Amino acid sequence: MASSKNYTEVLIGGKVFTLSGFESEDYLQKVSTYLNHKIEECTSSDGYRKQSAETRSVLLALNIADDYFKAKKQGGALESDIEAKDKEMYDLKHELISVQIKYENAEKALDRLKEENRELQMKIVQLETEMKNHRK
């Protein structure tokens, strides 16, 4: 089922535009708010305001492209961090499994030693009993 196209009026640079897209109205408003922020950021510079309309458009586009590439780089760094954390978690899980296996093996060995100790204790009692009976 395809989403329906959304239409919303936004104010960009003091002019009303009707935007349309399959994104939510809220998203379209956020995009226009971001664009207004960038326009305001650029127009706060005297050097920007002195430029021709064409140059201002290029400078605005460069500022937006700069934001895009910085965000993309940050996203890539975060993905690398996530991959590193996933690998670390994978390694820790395997280490945990290895330790659990060693622990279970140690418990089994301890149980065997306890059983062997019990049998030896019984043997001692039996031998002591035989010795007492033999002395009489």
Q: What angle do CA 125, 126, 130 make, to 5 degrees?
A: 115
pTM: 0.62
Which residues, including other chains, have CB under 8 Å from residue 7's CB and lie 6 or more apart? 18, 19, 20
pLDDT exceeds 80 at position 102: yes
Query: Residue 133: its pLDDT value, please?
Result: 85
Which pLDDT band holds residue 134 (cuts at 50, 70, 90)?
A: confident
What is the distance, to the nearest Å, from the Cα of residue 130 to the centroid of all Cα atoms in its chain? 71
Taking a C-beta distance cutoff of 8 angstroms, is the pair 41, 63 a contact?
yes
Structure tokens at 87: 């690998």
